[in-house]
């Protein structure tokens, strides 16, 4: 997943200026003097953020006012480039704050987030609804054909014009005021939703009394559960933490069905069972406010508004893709359920398979069919080997990159690692931050973000970070990953490469500044190297003996790649379809009962198969209701269509070779948002994408 914290979408300068008097002694006042403007985590305190936010907004409004009231005729330099350079302080503050609030939050940061979110929304409105500023942008846009701009500059002008129009610049004065109020409401509600999800997740761990109840989990995992319970004041008991997806990793291991049922029920009920973190009312208010915003801007619904600016363009295209895949996916899932039920019946289980049983019996079927289970893999997937001898190794072979860990730069948590990244010519390209372990004050899932974005206009280079949520083992124990966690490490580094390889002039287009349904594409492509034989043999070594993973075990892993795809596709499609249903409502269609609407929607769409619940239920669906992927969760599947086609290209052209990496980098990864996203794909691939490789991968082609 990608997370980018940035001020308004406008760019920023890293020029080191004198600190304003209001920020005397505040390390956020000026750009960091550390390499590549790497953040001064050791000096930044919680109390520095609010004054820096306020001063940053004041400064940017002053800069924007000067642009809007410039007596000189509008020019590309005095309007568009000037806006690209505005907001240095605010963007620095908002970027660092947003990243820390996701990765290392606390009550103070949460309170700041609640206070600043509506203020920042109002600040954005003050810029994008500035009539004089928009008049200058529109004047340039209307005569863009005569300005003789280079392609990137012309695209930048077009994007600014689009941004202003979509922000409401053409509305009447009265409607602009309505929009400002709605934007403030949405910002506040999204913050509430996000904080409720994290707090509910932390409060929802499964507490049991004995080790025996956790039979099937590894001794180290049970010890970790004992330590977690002790940390919560429950010494002698065992606390199984939950993650933000519906499915929970221990469900694959727990032999006690009653315990599995409790864990599954606890997971599915999050945010919808009363109490201070209940998100049902928040969901309804967000859905209504977004629908009202879309109506005010002239769109049928929020999904139509959101999708217009994506490569999918409209709801019809997204609905068609999802509906075409839903039936074959559920049919596959039902066949898989029958296989699982056969194992239950053979064991004389005496029960019908449900969501709490799926992962446990899937491993049994996998073991029968392919003669291995996931736990056989973990000893070969030690975290440091995966990162340095897998993820980094593939990047070296494909792109010529090299990495050197450094211990001298400050970090916000002792587990965070920092690496200098060098290009094939030996010049430093970027700084990479690896934050791999789960923490109670860290949002769920995995994501990439940028602290500094590349721009030749500003002379900046990338500082990017990857975040995973791998359970930290007890002291002295190795960190052994699941196969999914290995794939996630490669996936998130695909985002990092997209950021680090950026070679653009304007920061508005830097790195991952592309449509949401395109941004996951390069990261999904990078997953292919996790099981590429040359790469895997370099990192998949037993953590004790150093012996490589046996070829027969790898062969079984590869043979099982289509296994359980009915489940995986159905749980993803269910969430994607829910996301669309919520955001294709008009204000008058907003329901009163969240869970009833969710159940009816799943039934209407033919994906109401109880053993396979949505990957995210509505009340903890952060992708959808925290703003990042609202009406856009389909993007992973849309991007996977491009990804699957690209994987075929790599295979057709010899796989892990520099010539292939250099072509992918030059034609696509380095280009950021400087051109229409699908044009970038066509320039790389030589044609439009085809869907057959995706159907083959997902086992949806009947083979």
Angle between helix 315-346 and 358-370 (nearest 10): 70
Coil, strand, or helix at residue 447? strand
| Euclidean distance between CA atoms 222 and 228, whole angstroms | 10
| Euclidean distance between CA atoms 552 and 37, whole angstroms | 48
Beta bridge partners of 206: 240
492 is catalytic: yes
| Euclidean distance between CA atoms 202 and 117, whole angstroms | 23
Give Cβ neighbours of residue 387 (< 8 Å, ≥ 6 apart).
434, 436, 489
Q: How many other CB atoms sit within 10 Å of the CB of residue 472?
A: 15
CA-based nearest residue to 85, from 675, 462, 505: 505
CA-based nearest residue to 26, from 53, 66, 6, 1: 53
- Catalytic-role residue among 63, 492, 520, 640: 492
| Euclidean distance between CA atoms 258 and 349, whole angstroms | 13
| Euclidean distance between CA atoms 89 and 87, whole angstroms | 6
Beta bridge partners of 208: 238
Segments of 155-212 assigned E as strands: 206-208
| Euclidean distance between CA atoms 98 and 6, whole angstroms | 8
* 8 A C-beta contact, residue 528 and residue 383: no
Segments of 4-96 assigned E as strands: none
The phi-psi region of residue 278 (left if phi > 0; otherwise alpha if psi is between -120 and 50; otherwise beta) is: beta
| Euclidean distance between CA atoms 332 and 327, whole angstroms | 9
The residues carrying an active-site annotation are 492
């Amino acid at each position: 997943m990608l997370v980018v914290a940035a001020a308004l979408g406008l760019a920023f300068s890293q020029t080191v200026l004198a600190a304003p008097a209001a920020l005397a002694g505040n390390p956020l006042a000026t750009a960091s003097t550390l390499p590549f403007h790497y953040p001064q985590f050791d000096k930044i305190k919680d109390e520095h953020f609010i004054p820096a936010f306020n001063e940053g907004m004041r400064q940017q409004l002053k800069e924007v006012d000067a642009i809007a009231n410039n007596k000189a005729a509008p020019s590309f330099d005095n309007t568009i480039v000037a806006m690209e350079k505005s907001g240095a302080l605010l963007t620095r503050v908002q970027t660092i704050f947003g990243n820390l609030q996701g990765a290392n939050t606390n009550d103070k940061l949460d309170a700041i987030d609640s206070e600043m979110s509506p203020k920042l929304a109002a600040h954005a409105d003050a810029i994008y609804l500035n009539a004089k500023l928009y008049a200058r942008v529109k004047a340039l846009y209307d005569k863009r054909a005569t300005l003789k701009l280079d392609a990137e500059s012309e695209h930048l002008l077009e994007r600014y014009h689009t941004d202003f129009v979509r922000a409401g610049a053409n509305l009447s004065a009265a409607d602009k005021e309505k929009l400002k109020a709605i934007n403030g409401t949405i910002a506040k509600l999204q913050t509430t939703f996000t904080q409720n999800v994290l707090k509910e997740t932390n409060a929802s761990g499964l507490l049991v009394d004995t080790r025996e109840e956790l039979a099937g989990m590894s001794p180290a995992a049970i010890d970790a559960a004992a330590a977690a319970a002790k940390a919560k004041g429950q010494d002698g008991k065992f606390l199984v933490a939950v993650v933000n997806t519906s499915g929970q990793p221990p469900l694959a291991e727990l032999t006690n069905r009653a315990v599995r049922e409790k864990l599954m029920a606890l997971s599915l009920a999050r945010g919808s069972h009363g109490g201070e973190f209940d998100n049902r009312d928040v969901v309804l208010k967000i859905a209504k406010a977004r629908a009202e915003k879309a109506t005010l801007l002239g769109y049928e619904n929020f999904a139509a508004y959101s999708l217009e600016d994506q490569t999918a363009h409209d709801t019809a295209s997204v609905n068609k893709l999802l509906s075409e895949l839903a039936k074959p996916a559920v049919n596959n899932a039902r066949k898989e359920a029958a296989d699982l039920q056969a194992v239950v019946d053979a064991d004389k289980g005496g029960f019908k398979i449900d969501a709490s049983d799926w992962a446990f019996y899937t491993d049994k079927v996998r073991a029968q069919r392919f003669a291995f289970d996931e736990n056989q893999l973990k000893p070969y997937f030690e975290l440091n080997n995966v990162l340095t001898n897998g993820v980094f190794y593939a990047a070296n072979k494909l792109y010529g990159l090299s990495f050197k860990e450094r211990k001298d730069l400050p970090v916000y948590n002792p587990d965070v690692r920092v690496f200098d990244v060098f290009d094939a010519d030996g010049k430093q390209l970027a700084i990479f931050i690896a934050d791999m372990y789960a923490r109670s004050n860290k949002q769920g899932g995995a994501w990439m973000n940028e602290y500094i974005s590349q721009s030749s206009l500003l002379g900046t280079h990338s500082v990017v970070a990857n975040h995973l949520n791998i359970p930290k083992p007890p002291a002295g124990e190795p960190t052994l990953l699941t196969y999914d966690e290995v794939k996630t490490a490669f996936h998130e580094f695909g985002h990092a490469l997209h950021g680090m390889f950026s070679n653009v002039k304007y920061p508005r287009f830097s790195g991952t500044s592309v449509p949401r349904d395109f941004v996951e594409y390069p990261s999904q492509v990078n997953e292919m190297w996790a099981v590429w034989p040359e790469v895997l043999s370099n990192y998949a070594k037993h953590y004790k003996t150093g012996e490589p993973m046996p070829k027969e075990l790898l062969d079984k892993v590869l043979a099982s790649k289509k296994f359980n795809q009915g489940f995986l596709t159905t749980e993803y499609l269910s969430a994607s379809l829910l996301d669309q249903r919520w955001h294709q409502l008009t204000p008058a269609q907003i329901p009163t009962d969240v869970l009833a609407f969710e159940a009816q929607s799943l039934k209407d769409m033919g994906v109401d198969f109880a053993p396979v619940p949505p990957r995210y239920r509505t009340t903890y669906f952060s992708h959808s209701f925290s703003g990042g992927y609202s009406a856009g969760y389909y993007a992973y599947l849309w991007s996977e269509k491009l990804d699957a086609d690209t994987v075929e290209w790599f295979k057709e052209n010899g796989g892990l070779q520099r010539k292939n990496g250099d072509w992918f980098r030059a034609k696509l990864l380095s280009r950021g948002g400087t051109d229409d996203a699908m044009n970038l794909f066509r320039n790389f691939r030589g044609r439009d994408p085809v869907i057959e490789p995706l159907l083959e991968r997902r086992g949806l082609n009947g083979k």
